[in-house]
Structure formats: structure tokens, C-alpha cells
């Protein structure tokens, strides 16, 4: 874990000239533990130890990893400051989703849940604290937030809405204490399933109330028609009884008496059919009886290549790696393939989107679940690729900046500036030309998890193509870039890291098969 970066400038130990306090525009995170007093009353020492452990193992490292600075802890909370609103929100999401994992095995009454508020404002910075309306607003937003949630101000939202691929639920303008103007507040929805549910919540409520209204109207209309029909039957019965019978049969209780005998002749047929269904030699196929859809694989011959580049410090040093033969998915794993795992109760959620789209919003741990299920179901050694295997396959035998050459060409990959119109989701798999190895979407489309733990460069990396699993594995490596990234992420040598257990809407994966 790195040192917590101090947000003071080099000369801040000297008093500012003419009494002017140093100011800066910053994104401020304020976090606070819900029901802290109750938890302390129930177990004072235990709660204190747990809070300090979370601060040490989760909050402080997350702030550092997202290029922020911890201003102070407050017993039951913390304040942090960031240059980037994007990093502030990403840090908040990471903290909350990691806390979900920590709380999963605990009873609800003993869980430590944080409320988090994030705001952008011009603040006064002192060595051990930060002041101003920007901090006050962040504190008020945190007070409104629900436990386990991240709420952000409109100022933050305007900065990140096209940069952090999340859902946002507008909570409208809120009047907060000691702040003159109302503050627009949004709730952050990092999970794609949550986004879909929230978008449809109001629509579902309206549909429900509309359905109730229509049922009431229909019941009233039916009652009216029956009453009218009954009245006509009584009037028609007056001249002659025989002519009244067919008219009154649908409406009047005394007349349908012959129906029991008719029902008695009809009931045995469906009951016999239902009784014989379990013993039928050809029952209707169930989801579990349908054949498993394995990803289409491409065989890759082994060889040696120069891994990395000098374009970015994380891609250095360039080093020679020898790869053994393996097979890799022709496409990223699709929604349809993932949902077979979900239907088997082996994957943690049901994916949304078109069947032929790459599955997204997948954590590294989720990808491992799918690979393990596929290996067990097929009795084949499916797994995630190593970082070296992925890059070797993505290059397709080339050593240029992109697999097709050194210059960006439209129509070759799905990214923000790859020549296609901006999209709100990735294109279906195989929408772009394959590389020389016949692989699609090895650059752009969807970020792809690999097996390796994240290391900031290649110093000490394996040379045999195996996964690099040593060191801190709280983050793992992502390759490819996505439809939301620009073209520099499409390069085969580009690499990034992200938190192991956190789902993010642009993250997917593909699998490999050992010989």
C-alpha cells in the first residue's frame, strides 16, 4: 500500500501572504457510518476495531489508488479530497461494493454500512482540514444518502455523466441546511441490473395502478351488462317459459343447472391428460436438458513475441515471451452464454441485453465463476487467459501499434473515436473485422479480464506466458478497451487494472482452453 498523498503544496508550511488562505477546486467525499451509536452501544470495542480495520484495509488504499488524499477520519466517518470528480466517484463505488462483500456473511443488525456524499466545490485547504460550502454540501448530501449508497451533487454529475459508465437516478433539487440555494442530487447506480430496475420502477408503478383502474372499470361494466341482461331475461320470460330459457341461460343461476352433467363429462379428459403427463416418454425439454452452448474457440499455435511497448510506463519494459499452444474464444463471452451459467445457478446474476452482445458489468470474480462452471459442465480445462496469451492472440502475429497497422482505421474496432457513431452499449460480437488469427473484438467493444494480478509495469513478469499471480491481487488486469474508451485503449499492448470484486458496466471477458 502506498503512502497517503498529502494534498498540501510544497510551501504550505509557510504562512500564506497577506493572510490569504490557499483555495482549490476539488471533489470532496464525505463518508459516515449509519447507526454508529447503536453499534457502539452494542459492542464498543469490537465496533471500534472493525471501523479502524476498514479504514486501514479499504478506505485509505482505495483513496490512494484513485489519486486522492485522506483529509481526516472522524471516528465514524472520513473526508477525502480529489483533483478528479471521476476518480472521486470511482473510489466511492469501490468502497461501497467492497463493503457489500465484507457484510455479506454478517447479520443485518451488525453490518457496518457507510453513507457517502460527493460534491465539487471551491474549498479552503489547511494542513489537517478543509473548509467551505463545498465541504458543507458534501456533508449534507451524505446525510441524505441511504446506507450503502453513493449520492452526488449536480456539479459532480455534470463532470462525470459521460465519463463514468453508471446509472444515475435524479432525486431532484433538495433544500439543505445552511445552504442558500437548493442542491440537485443524484443517486449513483453502479450495477447494470440496478440501472434497469430503477429506470422501470416508475413505469411499473404506473402500469400497476393503470391495471387496477382498468380492472375496476371492467368489473363495473360487466356488472352493468349482467344486470341489463338479467332484466331483459325477466321481461322475456313473461310471455312464455320455453322462449325464456335460452335467453336467461347465460345470466341466471337457476337455469345453468344442466351444466354439472356437462362438466362431469368434460372433467375426466383434462384430468387424465394431467395424470399421464409425468409418465410420458417424451416430456417437454427443461432449461437444464438443453445442450450447453460452448463458446466458439480458435486454436493458437505457440511462439515467441515482444510483449509490451514504450507508449506507456505500464507497458514497459518490452520483453520477449514464449507462448505455448492454446485455444481462445473467437468472441467475448456473450449474454446468452453467460445466462446459461446464471440459469444453472452458477453465476451471480442474469445479464441484460441482446443475446449476441458481449456480457458486461462483470467483475473478475464473476468471470472466474463462469470459467469454473464451464470447465465443470464440459469436463474441459476452460479458464481466463493470461495477460501474455491475450496480447499474443490480440497481435495476431504483428508487432505494429494496432494489429492492422500503425494508424487508426475506421471500421476496425468499436471505440469512442474509432470512426463509428457514439453508442450507449457495445455492438454485437463479430461486428468488426477479425485479426489475422481470426479473432474478433481483441481491441474495443468490451474490456476483458485476464488471469493476472495487476502490476504497475513488467519488471519481474513471467517470460513463459503464464499468469502473473504474485503480489497484491486486490486488483486484476483488464485488456482491450471498450466502446466507451478512446483509441489508445484499442492497442494490443494497452493494459489497465481494476478492483477484483467490483462490477463495472464496460467490463467483460473471454475464455481460453488449455490443450
Write out pLDDT tens, residues 218-245.
777 777 677 666 554 444 444 444 443 4
- The cell for 116 is 457517502
Averaged pLDDT of the chain: 81
Residue corresponding to grid cell 464473476: 366
The torsion defined by the Cα of 239, 243, 246 and 251, in degrees rounded to 10, comes to 10
Give Rg (Cα) of the chain.
31
Q: What angle do CA 56, 57, 63 make, to 5 degrees?
A: 80
pLDDT at residue 121 in the model: 93
pLDDT at residue 222 in the model: 73
The yes-or-no verdict on residue 362 having pLDDT over 70 is yes
pLDDT at residue 209 in the model: 60
- The cell for 238 is 313473461
Q: How far, in Å, CA of 140 to CA of 148, rounded?
A: 16
pLDDT at residue 79 in the model: 96
- The predicted-structure confidence for 386-414, as pLDDT tens digits, reads as follows 999 999 999 999 999 999 999 888 888 98
What domains sit in the chain, N to C, each tagged with a CATH number?
17-190 (3.30.70.1230), 297-513 (3.90.1580.10)
- Judge contact between 503 and 366, C-beta under 8 A: yes
Stated length of the chain? 515
The yes-or-no verdict on residue 204 having pLDDT over 80 is no
- Judge contact between 359 and 333, C-beta under 8 A: yes
Q: What is the pTM of this model?
A: 0.56
Provide mean pLDDT across the span 473-501.
90
Q: How many helices (H) and strands (E) does the chain have?
A: 13, 18
pLDDT tier for residue 20 given thresholds of 50, 70 and 90: low
- The predicted-structure confidence for 454-471, as pLDDT tens digits, reads as follows 999 999 999 999 999 987
H helix or E strand, kind and range, residue 513: strand 512-513
- Judge contact between 81 and 17, C-beta under 8 A: no
507-509 and 512-513 strand pairing = unpaired
pLDDT tier for residue 366 given thresholds of 50, 70 and 90: very high
**26-30, 214-218, 316-320, 431-435: segment of lowest average pLDDT:** 214-218
- The cell for 317 is 519494459
In percent, how much of the chain has pLDDT > 90?
A: 54
- The cell for 367 is 468471470
Name 109's Cβ contacts closer than 8 Å, sequence gap at least 6.
Answer: 42
Name 166's Cβ contacts closer than 8 Å, sequence gap at least 6.
Answer: 89, 93, 188, 189, 190, 195, 505
pLDDT at residue 241 in the model: 40
The yes-or-no verdict on residue 371 having pLDDT over 50 is yes
Amino acid at each position: 500500500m502506498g503512502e497517503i498523498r498529502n494534498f498540501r503544496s510544497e510551501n504550505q508550511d509557510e504562512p500564506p501572504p497577506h493572510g490569504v488562505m490557499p483555495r482549490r477546486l476539488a471533489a470532496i467525499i464525505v463518508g459516515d457510518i449509519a447507526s454508529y451509536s447503536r453499534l457502539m452501544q452494542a459492542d464498543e470495542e469490537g465496533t471500534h476495531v472493525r471501523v479502524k480495520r476498514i479504514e486501514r484495509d479499504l478506505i485509505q488504499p482505495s483513496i490512494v489508488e484513485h489519486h486522492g488524499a485522506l483529509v481526516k477520519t472522524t471516528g465514524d466517518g472520513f473526508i477525502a479530497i480529489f483533483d478528479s470528480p471521476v476518480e472521486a466517484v470511482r473510489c466511492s463505488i469501490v468502497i461501497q461494493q467492497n463493503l457489500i462483500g465484507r457484510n455479506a456473511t454478517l447479520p443485518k443488525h451488525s453490518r457496518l454500512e457507510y453513507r457517502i456524499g460527493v460534491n465539487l466545490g471551491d474549498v479552503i485547504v489547511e494542513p489537517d482540514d478543509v473548509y467551505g460550502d463545498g465541504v458543507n454540501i458534501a456533508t449534507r448530501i451524505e446525510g441524505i444518502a441511504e446506507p450503502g449508497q453513493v449520492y452526488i451533487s449536480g456539479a459532480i454529475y455534470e463532470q462525470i455523466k459521460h465519463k463514468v459508465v453508471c446509472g444515475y437516478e435524479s432525486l431532484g433539487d433538495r433544500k439543505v441546511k445552511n445552504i442558500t440555494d437548493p442542491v440537485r442530487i443524484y443517486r449513483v447506480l453502479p450495477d447494470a441490473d440496478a440501472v434497469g430496475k430503477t429506470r422501470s420502477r416508475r413505469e411499473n408503478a404506473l402500469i400497476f395502478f393503470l391495471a387496477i383502474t382498468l380492472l375496476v372499470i371492467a368489473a363495473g361494466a360487466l356488472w352493468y351488462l349482467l344486470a341489463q341482461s338479467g332484466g331483459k331475461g325477466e321481461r322475456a320470460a313473461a310471455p312464455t317459459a320455453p322462449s325464456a330459457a335460452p335467453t336467461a341461460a347465460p345470466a341466471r343461476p337457476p337455469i345453468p343447472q344442466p351444466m354439472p352433467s356437462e362438466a362431469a363429462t368434460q372433467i375426466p379428459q383434462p384430468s387424465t391428460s394431467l395424470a399421464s403427463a409425468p409418465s410420458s416418454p417424451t416430456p417437454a425439454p427443461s432449461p437444464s436438458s438443453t445442450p450447453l452452448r460452448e463458446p466458439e474457440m480458435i486454436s493458437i499455435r505457440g511462439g515467441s513475441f515482444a510483449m509490451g511497448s514504450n507508449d506507456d510506463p505500464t507497458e514497459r519494459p518490452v520483453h520477449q515471451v514464449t507462448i505455448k499452444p492454446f485455444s481462445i474464444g473467437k468472441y467475448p463471452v456473450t449474454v446468452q452464454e453467460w445466462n446459461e451459467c446464471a440459469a444453472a445457478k452458477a453465476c451471480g446474476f442474469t445479464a441484460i441485453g441482446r443475446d449476441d452482445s458481449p456480457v458486461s458489468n462483470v467483475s473478475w470474480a464473476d468471470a472466474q465463476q463462469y470459467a469454473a462452471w464451464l470447465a465443470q459442465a464440459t469436463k474441459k480445462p476452460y479458464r481466463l487467459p493470461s495477460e501474455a496469451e491475450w496480447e499474443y492472440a490480440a497481435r495476431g502475429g504483428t508487432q505494429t501499434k494496432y494489429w492492422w497497422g500503425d494508424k487508426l482505421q475506421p471500421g476496425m474496432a468499436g471505440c469512442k473515436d474509432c470512426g463509428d457513431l457514439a453508442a450507449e452499449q457495445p455492438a454485437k460480437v463479430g461486428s468488426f473485422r477479425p485479426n489475422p488469427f481470426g479473432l474478433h473484438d481483441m481491441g474495443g467493444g468490451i474490456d476483458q479480464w485476464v488471469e493476472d494480478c495487476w502490476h504497475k509495469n513488467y519488471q519481474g513478469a513471467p517470460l513463459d506466458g503464464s499468469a502473473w499471480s504474485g503480489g497484491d491481487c486486490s486488483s486484476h488486469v483488464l485488456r482491450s478497451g471498450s466502446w466507451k474508451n478512446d483509441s489508445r485503449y484499442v492497442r494490443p499492448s494497452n493494459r489497465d487494472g481494476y478492483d477484483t470484486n467490483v462490477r463495472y458496466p464496460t467490463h467483460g471477458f473471454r475464455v481460453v482452453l488449455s490443450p
